[in-house]
Structure 1
C-alpha cells in the first residue's frame, strides 16, 4: 500500500499533473511511533474516522508543561510548490499544534507551529502549504526544505491539561504554476477602481450597485482595501465563485461610514469576487486593492498598509516599521503589568488595549509626532514613568503607576496633566483613544506576540467604559464619548475625518473595536488641568462621578505608592558625584523593575516575551536582591521553584504558570544549589538548608549520574577525551539552541553548585554527604580543567572556549567563571587573560565597523571579568559603552538585544529586561564590595574612581549588605596624595581579611590603619585585618 501510494506520487510529480496523493489513511498505525518529554503522557489507537479508521491520540501533561507527539518515516523529495492536508478534530484545550518535518539526521527540523491553537470540535480540513513551513532549529547551513525523511504531529503545552486529537486522510499535493492573468472588472467602466490612483473615483448613479472582479485564474486573496470617496453609510456584501455561477457569501458589513475599509480573508481560493453595495444615496469609490495570501497572516498587516497613508502619525509608531521603546509599571507580586511607550501610549495589561491621547487646536488634530517629547522617572529612579509632550502653547504630562493589594484590589492609575506654558489663553479639546493595540510592538513575537490586540467588547457606561469586562473610570465630565466597530468606523478615522458615526455598544467578533473620550479645555496662562483615569483589574473600585472624591482617592493611592518604593529602594544609600549617584539610581530602578516583573513568587526577566521563571536568571537576580536586602523575596522564590524539582533531582530550566519545562539545560542543577547557598550566606538561615537537604542530595546524585554518562570507555579515546567527565550536551543558556553542545557554561555552574552543596553538608554536619560530595566535586573539577586544556589544544585556540565541539569564542559566557562561579582558578592563565584582552579590543573596533548590527547587554558581565583581572579602567570603558545603549536612557534600563540603529524594528527580548538589569546591579556592587570565599576576603573598591567623589571630594556608602552584615564606608580625598577611608557597620570578619584596592590614580607610598603604619600593601591593594577601621592612604 505504501509503495503503491508513492509510485502514484512519483508519476504525478514527473507528469506535472496537479493531483492529490494519499500519504497515510491511518488504517495501519504500525508506521507511527511515540515521543514525549518528561511529565507528558501519550497513547494512540485506531477508531472510526471519516473514511474507514483514523488515529486517536490521547495526551496528558502531568505537570502542566512539556510536549508529546507521533512520528513516522516519510521519504519524500519536494517539488517547487506543494501542500499537505489532513482531516482534524479534537476535544482539547488550546495548546501548540506543531506539524514537523525532519531530515535523515533528525537534527534539522522544519515546522508549522500553530501557537495557542483552537482545535476544531468537528472534522475540518487542515492545510499545510509550503509557505507555512519554516526552519525551526538544527545545524543545517541550508535552511531550505528540499527533502522530508520524517513527519511528526506534536502537541506542546500552551495551557497544558489533557485532550484527545483525531487525524485522518493525510495527503500531499504538488501545486503546478499557472500563467499570471490580468485582473479584470465588470462593468468595464469601473476599471478606474483598479488604476492604483487613490484620487480617481467612480460615482455611482444609484443607491444599489454591483460589480464583479475576475482574477483570471484561481487566486488566494488575503485581503481587500476599499478607499471610499465619501463618508455616507454603505452596506457591503461580498461573494466568491470559481465559475461565476455558484456564489458563496464571504462577508457582509452594514453601516460603513469611513474612508478606508480593510478586510482580511483566510483560506479563500476563488476566481471571481462579486461586490454588492447599497446606500441611502449615490456614493463614490476611489480605489480597490487586493492583497495576496500573506496579508491574512496577521492583523498587523492592516495597519502596516494604513500607516503608509497620511494617517501614520495617528497610529503607533511601530506600524511605520520603526522601533518603539517602553517601560513597565505594576504592583509588586501581581501579574498585571502595564506598559508605557516613549510617545505616551499606555497598554493597560498584557495583550490588552491601549490609551493614546490626541490634542485638538484650531480645528486640527495633533498627535505625539507634532510635539517634542521628554522622558523621565520621578526623582530619576522611582518606577513612576513620565512622558511630556511640549509645544510653545500647550504641554501634556503623562504619568502612570499601579497600586493595590496583589490579585485582589490592584488598579492602574493614569494622569494626563494639561499645562498652558504660554502667555495667552488656550482653548481646545483633548481626545483619548481606546485602541486595540499593544505598546508591545509586532516584532516582539515570543510568547506574547505584539502589535494588534483585542477589544472584544466595549460598553459606554456612566463615568467610563466597560472594556473586555473591566471598568475604566475617569474624573471629568466628558464632552462626548463613543465606541466604534472597526469595519464600520474606527476612532482614528473618526478623529481625522471628523465623522463620529458610532454605536453605544460594540462586540465585534474580530476584536477590533475602539473607543473615544473627548474633553474640552480652556486654559489661561499658567493654568493646569489634571485628567485622571483608573483601570480596575479586579472589579474592586466603585468609581464615583464626584470629582473631588475621585481626586482624593487618586492622590491618596499615589502617596502610598511613592512612599512604598522610597522605603524599600533606599535601604542602601550612596553620596558622591553626579556620575556615581546616576549609576546608583540605575541600580535602584532595576531593583524596582525586578520586583515589578516578578509574578507572585516567580522571579521573571520580563513582563511580556519573558514572562517565565528561569532558574538561571532567577539565581543571579536573587543574588542582586540579596545584596540589597531583599531576603524575603528570595526565600519565597526558592520555596516556589523548589516545588517543581523532579523526583530524580533534575532541576527544571524554567517554570511558568503551567509548571516545569522538561527541556534539558544542564546549568540549572548547579544554579539551584548556588542559589540555596547564597541565600544562606546572607541570612545564616540553616533551617532552609536543613529543609532542602534531601533535595540537595537528589540534585547532586542527579549531577553525578549525568556526569557518568561521559565516563564510559569510549570517552577515554584521544578523540573523545575532551568530553570525559563533563555534563552531557544541552542547549545550555540557550546559546546552543541549534544543536546541543557540551557547554562550559553548564560545567562552570555545575562546579559552583557542587562546591556549594559540599559547603552546605559541612554546615549541617552531614559528614557522610560531605565526604561523598567532596569526592564528586574534586573529580569533576579535575575533569573540567583537563577538558578545557584538551579543547584548547584540539582547536588550536588561544582563549577559553565556549564548548568542546566548536571551540567557540564567547567571552560573555566565559565571564561566569569569575562571577558568580568563582572558578577561574582552574583555567589556564594565558588563555583566560587573552580571552578578555581580545574582547576589550573587539568592543571598540565593533562600533567603527559597518557590519556592526546588534549586541546583547549581557556583555555587562564582562565588567566583572575586568575587575577581577585588575583592569578597572577597562571596566569603566565597558560600563560607559553600555550606558550609551540604554533606550531610553532616562528610564534606566536595557533590553535583552540592542540594535545599533535605534529605529530598527527587530526583536529586543523584553524591556526592561531584568536579568540584564541584575547583571548591572551585580557588577556595580562588585565595584565596591565582593566576598571571595577562595581566599576568605572582602574585596573593597575594585572599581572605585576618584571621579566618584563629589565637589567636596567626598564619597559615602551606607548600609551595603554583605554576607557578614551591613557595611558603611566614607571616603575623603584630603589632598592630591592622600585619601582617608572609614569603615564601620555591623560587618564581622570571623577570620576573613579586607583588601582595599588602591583608590588613588598613583602608586601607594604609605598606609595607616587606625593610626598605625602598616606594610601590608602593594600598588594594587592594601590588606586590613581590623574592623571598624580608619585607613589613611598616601600616594607617591
Structure 2
C-alpha cells in the first residue's frame, strides 16, 4: 500500500477529439512594451535575460524591509474563448511571497487575477498554467464579472516575507481548449504487453474481479487516453495480489509527444497506491512500470487492510486505475480525508474523525438522547473511564465529530484539527432533557 503526495509539477472516454489552437501573447524577445514599477519604498528594475527559449523578461525587486509590491506590466489586448488556459514559463529566487498575474480591462478599473499566496519561485524553468476556473474577479465597478479578455497584463510580487530577489518570465501564451464533458468518459487504454485475455482495458472497467496482466515483467508501460485535456487531483491504483510494481513513475502529456513526470514511486509494496497530483491536467497518462515486486518483497494490503496476501510474481497486474477529481488532491487534508474514507477503520491517524456520545455519569455512563452544545475542552482520566463504560455497554456513537472539539457538534463530520491532541476527550456540554430543562452533562469522545 502506498499513499503518495505527488510532485506538484503538473499544471495541468471516448469523445471526439477537438482541435486545440495556441496563440503566443508575448515571447519576450522585445521588452519595449514592458515597464517596471513598485509601491512606495520598494524598488524594481526590468531587464532582458536568456530565457526558456530565446530571451525572457526579468524583474528584480527589493522590498527594503517594507511591505508593498513590485510589478512588470504592458498593454496587451486579447479575448479568451469559451474554454482556455493561459500559460508561461517562470523561475526566480528570493523569499516566499505572493505571486499575482493581473488582467485589466481598458478602463483600468476592472481587474481579474490569478493570485498564489506563499509562492516559492522555482529555481528552474517551470510551466505555470492558469485554467479558466482559476481566473478570479479581483475588484472593480463593473457588474458583469465574467472574464472575457484583457487590455493589460501585470506580473506582480506582493510582500509576504518580503526581502529581495527576482523573477523571470518567458513564452506567455493562450491555448483554446475543447468544452469539458459533464461526465468524464472512460479512458482508452493500451499496454506494451498483455497475458492472454487480460487486456489493458480491464484496468479501467471498474470491475474488481478483472485485471490487466502483463505478459512479462521488466519495463512495461500502460498508456491512457483520457479523451480530452482533463484536470484531476490524483490517481488510485489497485494492484492484483502479488503482481504490483515496486518502482514506477506516472507521466502526463497534452500531445503524446512531450511528457512530464507528475509522480514517482520507488518502494511500492502492493495493495492500493493513492497518488496526490495537485492541480494536474493532461490528455494522456502513462505508467512507466520499471520493476515488479519480487517474491521476497512480501505482499501489500488490498485497499487498506481489506486484502489478503499472496505469492509475488514477476509480472504486473492492475485491477483498477481511477483518475480522481480535483478535490481529491486539493491539499494534504483533503487527500488524507479521501484516503481515510476509502480505508478500513483504524488504518489512518485517529485524529481524523471522532466518535462522540453524550454521557450521564449518574446513569453509569449510558448515552442520553440530548444533542449537546459543546462548551469547552479537556483531556481527563474520567473521559477514558466514560468511554470504557460506554463501550462495555455496547453503546453506539451519537454521531461523528470533526474540527476542534469546542467548535463542532457530534452530528458534524468535518476532519479534525491535525495539530490537536489525540486520544479520548471529555468536554462539558449543555443538553435538554425530555422535560425541556437544561442539564449539564459530559461528552466522551474517542477516535475512530
In the superposition, the TM-score normalised over structure 2's length comes to: 0.61
CA contact (8 A) 2:246 2:267 kept: yes
- 2:77 alignment partner in structure 1: 75
CA contact (8 A) 2:269 2:293 kept: no
Equivalent position to 1:215, from 203, 225, 230: 225
SS in 2 for 1:149: strand
CA 1:46–1:217: 2 relative to 1, 3 Å: same
Deviations 1:703-755 (A, max 9, x none): xxxxxxxxxxxxxxxxxxxxxxxxxxxxxxxxxxxxxxxxxxxxxxxxxxxxx
Equivalent position to 2:236, from 209, 225, 242: 225
- 1:290 alignment partner in structure 2: 323
Displacement after TM superposition at 1:224 (Å): 0.7
- Asked if 1:183 is matched to 2:198, the reply is no
CA 1:97–1:18: 2 relative to 1, 3 Å: same
Give, in whole Å, the separation in 1 of the partners of 2:21 and 2:119. 29
CA contact (8 A) 2:89 2:127 kept: yes
Q: Give the structure with the higher percent helix.
A: 1
- 1:273 alignment partner in structure 2: 286
What runs of 5+ residues in structure 1 fail to find an aligned partner? 1-15, 317-355, 359-366, 378-384, 397-419, 425-436, 441-449, 455-471, 473-515, 519-528, 531-581, 583-888, 891-1036
- 2:169 alignment partner in structure 1: 167
In the superposition, the TM-score normalised over structure 1's length comes to: 0.29
Displacement after TM superposition at 1:123 (Å): 3.0
Give, in whole Å, the separation in 1 of the partners of 2:337 and 2:344. 11
Equivalent position to 2:23, from 21, 24, 33: 21
CA 1:301–1:259: 2 relative to 1, 3 Å: farther
Equivalent position to 1:38, from 34, 37, 40: 40
Equivalent position to 2:355, from 350, 369, 372: 369
List aligned pairs for 1:248-263, cutoff 5 A. 251-257=263-269, 259-263=271-275
CA contact (8 A) 2:70 2:158 kept: yes
Displacement after TM superposition at 1:165 (Å): 1.8
Displacement after TM superposition at 1:100 (Å): 1.0
List aligned pairs for 1:133-212, cutoff 5 A. 133-176=135-178, 182-186=186-190, 187=194, 189=198, 191-197=201-207, 199-202=208-211, 208=217, 212=222
Give, in whole Å, the separation in 1 of the partners of 2:135 and 2:108. 16
Displacement after TM superposition at 1:178 (Å): 8.9
SS in 2 for 1:269: strand
CA 1:77–1:200: 2 relative to 1, 3 Å: same
Which of the pair has more CA radius of gyration? 1
CA contact (8 A) 1:103 1:148 kept: yes
Give, in whole Å, the separation in 1 of the partners of 2:249 and 2:149. 40
Give, in whole Å, the separation in 2 of the partners of 1:103 and 1:308. 45
**Bigger relative contact order, structure 1 or 2 (CA pairs below 8 A, ≥6 apart):** 2
- 1:115 alignment partner in structure 2: 117
Give, in whole Å, the separation in 1 of the partners of 2:170 and 2:155. 12
CA 1:116–1:438: 2 relative to 1, 3 Å: farther
Displacement after TM superposition at 1:149 (Å): 1.9
Give, in whole Å, the separation in 2 of the partners of 1:54 and 1:239. 30
CA 1:231–1:40: 2 relative to 1, 3 Å: farther
CA contact (8 A) 1:101 1:151 kept: yes
List aligned pairs for 1:331-730, cutoff 5 A. 356=350, 368-369=354-355, 371-372=357-358, 377=376, 385-387=377-379, 394-395=385-386
What runs of 5+ residues in structure 2 fail to find an aligned partner? 1-17, 296-310, 360-371, 393-401, 406-414, 431-440, 443-448
Give, in whole Å, the separation in 2 of the partners of 1:161 and 1:245. 40
Displacement after TM superposition at 1:22 (Å): 2.6
CA contact (8 A) 2:203 2:212 kept: no
Deviations 1:634-664 (A, max 9, x none): xxxxxxxxxxxxxxxxxxxxxxxxxxxxxxx
SS in 2 for 1:29: coil
Displacement after TM superposition at 1:30 (Å): 3.7
Q: How many equivalent residue pairs?
A: 349
Displacement after TM superposition at 1:90 (Å): 1.7
Displacement after TM superposition at 1:217 (Å): 4.3
SS in 1 for 2:320: strand
CA contact (8 A) 2:103 2:111 kept: yes
Give, in whole Å, the separation in 2 of the partners of 1:156 and 1:142. 27
What's the RMSD between the two structures over aligned residues?
4.8
CA 1:166–1:184: 2 relative to 1, 3 Å: closer
Displacement after TM superposition at 1:21 (Å): 2.7
